[in-house]
Amino acid sequence: MNCGEIRMIVKLPYGKKHLEWNVDPCRIKAILQTKTSALETTDSEIEVVAKALANPYCSATLGELAKDKKNIVIISSDHTRPVPSHIIMPLLLAEINKANPTAEVTILVATGFHRRSSDSELRAKYGDEIVERVNIHIHDSQNDEMADFGLLPSGGKLLVNRIAADADLLIAEGFIEPHLFAGFSGGRKSVLPGIVSYKTVLANHCSKFIASPNARAGILDGNLMHQDMLFAAKNTRLAFIVNVVLDANKRLVKAFAGDPEIAHNAGCSFVRDIARVDSEPADIVVATNGGYPLDQNVYQAIKGMTAAEATVNDGGVIIMVSECIDGHGAHEFFNMLDRAAEPKELLLDILSRDMHETVPEQWQAQILARVLAKATVIMVTKAPRTMIESMHMRWADSIEDALSMAEKIIDRDDYQITVVPDGVSVIVEE
């Protein structure tokens, strides 16, 4: 058969389901995805975490650390992260309780700059029993009492939630994946930006740091943001972490526990090996944010967009498939794009700002403006069309409509398409 006469089905994560895209395979230059075979395991999710807890990296076990502590705080990711806390948290609490049944335990939800988690989101994350039995505090970066830990290497103030600062033992759960400017999620990010003051976040997320070529997915060496985050974790006395790796179905398949820096580095090395892919430059790149919960809003969708940015040709088109049932996700982020005459103007304005002139959500606007300076972005989304267009992107209600729009923009017959089925999970190296 000739090209155009045969079709292939590409499944794209979208919300809690998938979109099935019927496409001409002759148009597909490459499909960039992680090495899923490295994630296979015969252990149950509980067994994976239990084995990691029993064999921590360069640390005593959690039970040994908890023995003589009165006030134990567990930093936990919020509703925007797919961390399987319903599996991890019961194991952490059981080990602490076995070693020290009289200890007071608080779960500190690391919202960073995000909105508060709702009661239903907490119950979905931890289960009813934990929500009703354990003290849970949702971090508020603007209103919670903060402890002053001095200056970060960048010069910003390190102001940390008092609940964490007063802990006899501070531990954290989380997960490791490529991160668009911190290199990788997990580890030290539980502290900064997780449980620090908004003032600390603003200093760390300044335009100079975001603009650095080392502030990219998969890069820790020379990453100034990472250096600040590591300093914050050490000085807040983060003592123990449990970080997990998830497969494409959000199943927990690997865990790393122990010393916050050493265990996290081991996890990052593992993820880097399975996530690194070579760029396959194309005129059109189709990407997603990996589905729910990371595609709840446009703010989060920028993560997957940066994977597409790394492989789209200059002047090309990115088709971003992201449900965005919560809309834009951040008011100031939206307002900055909405007020801008065009993305390049916004980018120049942000780049002119000093660290102490950083405003909330500026970093995500900076990255989106950078992407838009390189390529046209068409969003396949449930977010309102007017909202998307106000942010200098184009809107489509199906992947087929988006491709038709992209073809008109490219205006050439020999175009090719690179597909990134989960833009959050890959490290695209140019």
Structure confidence by residue, pLDDT tens digits, 337-375: 999 999 999 999 999 999 989 999 999 999 999 999 999
Residue 2 confidence class, pLDDT cut points 50, 70, 90: low
Rounded Cα–Cα distance for residues 125 and 190 (Å): 17
Structure confidence by residue, pLDDT tens digits, 126-169: 999 999 999 999 999 999 999 999 999 999 999 999 999 999 99
Give the catalytic positions in this structure: 114, 179
Give the three-state DSSP class for 224: helix
CATH topology (fold) of 8-31+279-429: 2-enoyl-CoA Hydratase; Chain A, domain 1 (3.90.226)
Is 423's pLDDT higher than 70? yes
Structure confidence by residue, pLDDT tens digits, 235-281: 999 999 999 999 888 899 999 999 999 999 999 999 999 999 999 99
pTM here is 0.91
Q: Which two tokens stand for residue 17?
A: 């389901």
Residue 430 confidence class, pLDDT cut points 50, 70, 90: confident
Is 297's pLDDT higher than 90? yes
Is 288's pLDDT higher than 70? yes
- 39-274 maps to CATH 2.60.40.1220: no
Q: For the chain, which residues make up each domain, given as ranges? A: 8-31+279-429, 39-274
| Average pLDDT of the residues in 325-338 | 95
Is 247:36 a contact under the CB 8 Å cutoff? Answer: yes
Structure confidence by residue, pLDDT tens digits, 72-105: 999 999 887 778 999 999 999 999 999 999 999 9
What SS3 string covers the chain? CCCCCCCEEEEEEECCEEEEEEECHHHEEEECCCCHHHHCCCCCHHHHHHHHHHCCECCCCHHHHHCCCCEEEEEEECCCCCCCHHHHHHHHHHHHHHHCCCCEEEEEEECCCCCCCCHHHHHHHHCHHHHHHCEEEECCCCCCCEEEEEECCCCCEEEEEHHHHCCCEEEEEEECCEECCCEECCHHHHCCCCCECHHHHHHHCCHHHHHCCCCCCCCCCCCHHHHHHHHHHHHCCEEEEEEEEECCCCCEEEEEEECHHHHHHHHHHHHHHHHEEECCCEEEEEEECCCCCCCCCHHHHHHHHHHHHCCEEEEEEEEEECCCCCCCCCHHHHHHHHHCCCHHHHHHHHHCCCHHHCCCCHHHHHHHHHHHHHCEEEEECCCCHHHHHHCCCEEECCHHHHHHHHHHHHCCCCCCEEEECCCCCCEEEC
| Average pLDDT of the residues in 372-399 | 98
* Residue 156 confidence (pLDDT): 93
Strand partners, 287: 320, 420
Give the three-state DSSP class for 13: strand
Residue 1 confidence class, pLDDT cut points 50, 70, 90: very low
Antiparallel, parallel or unpaired: β 135-138 and 104-110: parallel
Is 38's pLDDT higher than 80? no
Count of C-beta atoms within a 10 Å radius of residue 43:
14
Query: What percent of the chain stands above pLDDT 70?
Result: 99
Structure confidence by residue, pLDDT tens digits, 308-320: 999 999 999 999 9
Q: What is the mean pLDDT of the chain?
A: 95
Structure confidence by residue, pLDDT tens digits, 23-34: 999 999 999 999
| Average pLDDT of the residues in 419-427 | 95
* Residue 89 confidence (pLDDT): 97
Is 3's pLDDT higher than 70? no
